[in-house]
Structure formats: C-alpha cells, structure tokens
Structure 1
C-alpha cells in the first residue's frame, strides 16, 4: 500500500514538474500536450512528445482552461475501447488538434468515435461526442457519435459557452452534426459535414457566429436547418465570407422554419442550381432553399454552382 501511494505521488509530482518546466515565464502557461493511442500511457507518461498520453480524456483532464494549452493528437481511433469517456469536454481556452490538413481523413485516420448522455431542457437525454467550453477549439478530426445511450446523436451541441472554434473536421453519422442551442460568437469553418441526418441545425439566436467555407453535402435530410433569423452563412453581421458548398442533401440544402419576419444571410455560397431553387411547399425534396413559412427573407445573392451539383 505504501509503495502504491509513493508511486502515485511520484507520478503526480512528475506531471507538475513537467508543467512547470514548460512555463514560458508569463502569468499563463502556453505549451502542448501530446496523445498517441498506439504507444501512449496515461499513468507513466508526462504527455510530452516523446512520452505521450494514451487518451484525449486524460490529457484534457490534466489541462487547465486558463493555461492556453494545445493537445496534439496522433492518428488513431479514440473511442471507449481506447479508454475515452464520453462526452469529451474540451476545457476553456484549450485547443484539441489532430490532422488539420486532411480534416482527420489522412492515410491513417484521426477519429473520435463515441457519445455520452447530455441533458436537454425537458429532462430527457441526447447523445453527444464533444462538449466545448468557452474559447475552446477543435480541428483535424473525424467525429462520429455511434453510441446507444440515447435516440438522438449530435457530435456537437453548442449551448452554454461562446467563442468556440470548429475548424477543418469531418463530421459524420449524426442526427444533427452541429446543433446550436444558445452559443454565439463561434467560428465554424472549413469542415466537411456529410452523411448525417441534418448538417447544421440552429434553434437559438447566434447572429455573431461566422459559418464559412464548409462542405455541407450528402446529408440524408437537410444540409442547414434554422428556426431563427440573423444566422450568418455569408454576408451577415458576423463577417462570414460565405464559400459554403450546399449540395446533394436529400431533403433540402437550406431549410428555414422561421415563423416571423427577418433575415437569414447565405450570400456567396455554392448550390445545386443557379439561381438556387426556392420553395415554400417542399413537394419533391432536392430543393436548394425551402422557406417553410415564407415570412423570413433568405439572402442568397452571389450564388455560384457547386463543384459536383445534384439536380
């Protein structure tokens, strides 16, 4: 028992010493931890590049949100089998970085696969993969919620915290890939959002969130669904340049369920048709813009044809 306690104290001391040695001398620490599913060890290693942790869960638990830390993750599958606990919470100010160049889909994939219970307003539960805190960032992963803990699967739920960056990921097989329920001042850029039921769903006002240069294609339902005005997919108050590809989504590329007047900004994007087809009835599906209640104005000027359009 004594040896076990001494070993535990020694490991914690080593971790604290490692953190202190990386201090840049300022009031906040600014350094990297490393994770490698194949060769890492959460119990014996200090998270350095030569001695990485095994799980993202452990690395994020060590990280302090006030320290401006980056967690750099090697290719591999990060799931329950690897020892991950879901949903994975990215603390305030922490960046989780995988294979940014390939959006996680390189010759060896960098995948976070799994989900855990997340409470909803009516005391029921959904499943989500990631829980992002204020000022956090995730980039360079394939994300898939394949859990069985709830009937709805949402790789990202953005609700209570603002200033979140989701950049250059591949997000697949969710009921809603990114679900906005109250977060704002976020940046959603350069992601491949595909093979979900719905791509991006917005049910609470997020006028200061910039959504640009995403590939939102081949989702089984709607590419983008919104219940609120002011969303900036291009040309709005948040400064989005557009550049999103809305294409080949089985239901509609963009669906507005807004029942009061206002504006949805979706300028300078790529669609299946030029000009984009619009409807208020959705009789056949495969429409670029479905404005269900026909009271909100959807700004789509600057449209161009998608690289591989579906007609």
Structure 2
C-alpha cells in the first residue's frame, strides 16, 4: 500500500516530556539544570496529529518507489514534488547531491518537514550543491535550499561549495530551521531577506565563507541557541531587519555581530567572545538593543581582539544595560545606564510549529531527535561591570569601517558527534532576570567622528599573477559581503555598509591605465577598450584580458567623500581617471551575469554605474 494513502499517528510531544507535569528538564555540559518549560502548554515543536511520512534514501532508494521505509524514494527533489501538506520527509544517512539525482535548488513546500537526525545536528546526512535562484529583492543567487511558509528543516548538514554559494535562502517566509549544521557554504550559511519571521534554533554555523547568517530586508527572525564560529561575520544584520538574537554563542569569527544600515536587532543572553576583531560593530543608522532597565541584556562580551562593543560609527545611542563587559573595551555612544528609549518595531507573524514524525527506524530517529538542550561550554561568569552613564552628544556621521579579509588557510571542520553542540529546542523566549546595576562611574567617551575618512586601497600589482581558486567544500575565509537591494515596499537607498575584502573569483578589481572615457548615462552601452589603430597590428592584451575578465563595472563619483562611500560598500574599489572625471572601478568579471549582479548592487544604493567590456 502506498504511504501517500495512509496516515501515521504521530505523538512526538509525548516522547519529549521527560518529567511529570509536562516540563522537560536537562542537565547541561557543565552540570547546570536547564528548564525548557511546559512543551505541552507551549505546543512549539510538535503536536499530536496525523502526518504522512515519506522515506528517502540516496543509496538504496528509487524515485519509482512508494516512499515507504521498505521502498524509499531516492531523491529529496521527488519527495518534495509529491509530499502533501502536513507531511514529513525522513532522510536516511548519505549525501544528497546532483550526483545522486538532486535538482537544485531544493524548494521546501508549505506545511512539509524535511528532517534527518536532530540528535547529531545532521551528521552524516548531507545536502551538498546549489542552483540558480532569481530573488525578487536580491537578483540572481546560487542557493542549495529555498525556504517556505510553515515548512521545517531539521537535522541535516547543508553545504553549497559553488562560487558565492548560500546554504538556505529564506525570502518573505516563516519556516522553522532547527538542529542543523551549516558548513562549507562559500558565502552564507543562511540568508534571510524580505518580510520573513523564521525560527532559527539550535543550529551549528561553522567555517562558512562570508557570514554564518545574514538578516536583511524587513525580516524579524528569532535566532536562538545557535553556535556561530570560524566565519567572516558570525551574524550580519542590515537594511531594516529587526531580529531577536537570544542565547547564541558567537566565537572565533573575524567579527562577532555586524549591524548596518537602519537595522534594529535585539540581543539577549548571548556569549560573544574570542572574535578576532570586534565582538559587536554598529555603523550608519543602526541601533542594536543590548539591554534596557526594563529588559537587561544579560549578554557576555569578552576577549575579543580589538573591542568588545564598537559603535563609534553609528549615528544612534546604543542602550546596553545589564551586560557583562569591561567599559574600557567599549567605544562610541553606549548608554550603559539603559535610559535610552528604543522604539519597538511592528511584529511580523512568527513561524508556526512544524510537524515532526517519529520514524519507524528507531536507530536513526527517536525521542532524542529533539533533545533537551546542552549549554555551550563557556568560561566562568564574569561579574557585571559598573554601569557607566554616557551623556548624549551630537550624532556622529557614519564612517566606513575597513574590513580585512580573514586568514586564507583553511581550518578543519570538526564533524565528530561529540564536538557538535547538541541543539536546544525551546519553544518560548524567556525574559531575562533583572540585573542589579552596580555603582555609577563616569567615563570619557571617544569623540564623535566629524567626516567620512577615505581609506586608500592599493590596486593589485601587474607583476603578481592572480590565480582563481576552485571552490572548496570548506572556505572559512571571508569573501565579499553583498548589500542586498532595499525592499520593494521601501525603495529608500540604504546607508553604506560594511563589507569584507573580496576573495577568489567572485570579485576581482583589475586596474588598467587604458580605461576609456565612456557614456556616463544610466547603464550605458558597453564600451570596448584596447582598440587597434586602423591598418596596424592589434594591441597587446590588458591585464584584465590576460586573466580572462571580459567585463568591468565602474561608478561615477564627484568627490573624495563619494569615493570613500563606494569603498565602504566595496573595499577593493579603486580610482580610474578619464580626463577630469574620476570613476571608481568596483569589479572585473568573466561573465555578463556576474557583472550584472554588481551593477544591480551598486545601482540599488543610488550610484550611477555602468558595465564596460575589456575586449
């Protein structure tokens, strides 16, 4: 009998309750009991209901099969195509890739849960690959998985080794993403754009190329109890996003949390430590909420390489009451007394509870598929520092922050089940306990910057060959961080953003002394350079042509301040002169599609850009 014609009674919630009264209690890795709350009352992860289960096995399955445990399907692609609403796709261990028959991107379906092993955060259940996706707000992208409303992704490992590859793309939808591992994605583990409100809980983000997670658009994601490590930016927040970051551990990245544009993230009970530069950076008009007197932050900042909290390039006063940090490692207008008023952002509907099935194969899925949390191991608690009030002064103008590329040496990705943090699946957002403020000590704050600072960028030398690297499964070094175009509903150009230095073939500015003067109109016609004299021999190839780059994108500028703003968007940009006019070259590319992406990116920020050919 086909599995599509029968229903399996699922009662996963009962198996999660480990003590009487419907309250689940766990003991963390340091012996501290953690109360998850009444899962029955909250009803967050699973409900007792009928669900259809489809089984998929990339080794012994067949897409002509019935999808039962005895006759599984072979591909996730086929399972998603036939799965009805309120169904579960159960994955067997193995690698799901183009070689096994998958078609990317995989598109999650509303009301369908795609799950592997939550207990191991997807160890041995790998979705590997990516495909072209045309985003309504962010142009063409290469993604492995596309989210959907009321969908769930649980207990898998996601890797997209393609150039500028994203693991999971969530656009104006509210899926639940729990207990997964995102690693080896050459750009981001997860990108959240549009009007999205997903629940992202208990995941491990490690050794991704640019960001662990990017939160853009008008999104209001709940990002809870995740581990972000060994990536360019652990968490990157921009545009008008207003996510909640709760109980995450953000360690060992280039920068821990970067807050840009007009975003308004809320941070509570996070541990942000051991990042190479800053624990948290805020620029432009962004205003992270690190804690108020009504809701103390209870975040821990320590042992970050440069500063723990760096908001000197933000035009806003940042409330930061009730955190564990050292005031001497804070720069900018930070209100440690917590008196700054924070305007609440209208809420978007949150992600619904996913359906979770208990598979017939007890060895691969059991009650432990949704375990009680294990706290991430951290240093002993640090006593709260004195609360230091900061007088509000004139708002400084935002300045670009140069972001150096991370080290290029690849660091190994640990895949041992013992080394991966056990996910926490907590349905509610606890309100942190009040923190008693310590004595008030005045402190002199850093002077506000008065103007944008131009940071010169040296063009690459002609004498040094440029080698394009082939994609690797794991690329921990940061690559160029894109700034997505604003929401269609709000086309106001966004302030300058922070970007990591380009790496590999994704973006390579190629200077040339023979860049011609071209039409400065909107998206001018392509202009050929290096033309030969009539009747004479052809000219030698330019450096760009010799390296195979056929297109370049240039931006017209009027002042040094314009040039500095372009560099804040694309740190590798450099000046080219055409008579008395100065342009900034922001990239050279081998394909028209890559050039179009950069053109759309800079044009969306209000710049007059154009594409030229190097042939």
Pick the TM interval, shorter chain: 0.7 to 0.9
Q: Secondary structure of 1:60's partner?
A: helix
The answer to whether residue 150 in structure 2 is matched with residue 135 in structure 1 is yes
List alignment gaps of at least 5 residues for structure 2: 10-48, 284-303, 326-375, 380-615
Which protein has the bigger strand share? 1
Structure 1, residues 250-291: CA drift from partner, whole Å, max 9, x if none? 2x10011134xx742111011216xx855669xx97655444
Q: In 1, Cα distance between the equivalents of 2:248 and 2:150?
A: 23
| Matching residue within 50, 56, 59 for 1:35 | 56
Structure 1, residues 134-190: CA drift from partner, whole Å, max 9, x if none? 10000111100123xxx421111111322x111010001221211111142311000
Q: Is the 8 A contact 1:254 1:288 kept in 2?
A: no
Distance 1:280 1:47, change over 3 A: closer
1:57-206 maps to which residues of 2 (within 5 A)? 57-64=77-84, 66=85, 68-105=86-123, 109-121=124-136, 124-147=139-162, 151-162=163-174, 164-174=175-185, 175-196=187-208, 197-206=210-219
Aligned residues: 264
Distance 1:143 1:289, change over 3 A: farther
Q: In 1, Cα distance between the equivalents of 2:140 and 2:184?
A: 18
How big is the shift at 1:60? 0.9
Q: In 2, Cα distance between the equivalents of 1:140 and 1:246?
A: 21
TM-score by length of 2: 0.40
Residue aligning to 1:246: 250
List alignment gaps of at least 5 residues for structure 1: 1-13, 234-241
Q: Secondary structure of 1:266's partner?
A: strand
The answer to whether residue 272 in structure 2 is matched with residue 271 in structure 1 is yes
Q: Which moved more, 1:131-140 or 1:176-185?
A: 176-185
How big is the shift at 1:31? 1.4
The answer to whether residue 236 in structure 2 is matched with residue 225 in structure 1 is yes
Q: Which has the higher contact order (CA 8 A, sep 6+)?
A: 2
How big is the shift at 1:123? 7.9
Q: Is the 8 A contact 1:226 1:256 kept in 2?
A: yes
Q: Is the 8 A contact 2:237 2:258 kept in 1?
A: yes
Q: Secondary structure of 1:204's partner?
A: coil
Q: Is the 8 A contact 1:103 1:141 kept in 2?
A: yes
Distance 1:290 1:199, change over 3 A: farther
How big is the shift at 1:75? 0.5
Q: In 1, Cα distance between the equivalents of 2:62 and 2:378?
A: 44
Q: In 1, Cα distance between the equivalents of 2:265 and 2:57?
A: 42
Q: In 1, Cα distance between the equivalents of 2:141 and 2:279?
A: 34
Please tell me whether Structure 1 or Structure 2 has the larger radius of gyration of its CA atoms: 2
Q: In 2, Cα distance between the equivalents of 1:118 and 1:300?
A: 42
- The runs of at least 4 consecutive aligned structure 1 residues that moved more than 4 Å come to 121-124, 276-281, 284-290, 298-304
Structure 1, residues 87-128: CA drift from partner, whole Å, max 9, x if none? 0011000000101100112xxx10000001011357842100
Residue aligning to 2:6: 21
Residue aligning to 1:239: none
TM-score by length of 1: 0.76
How big is the shift at 1:82? 0.4
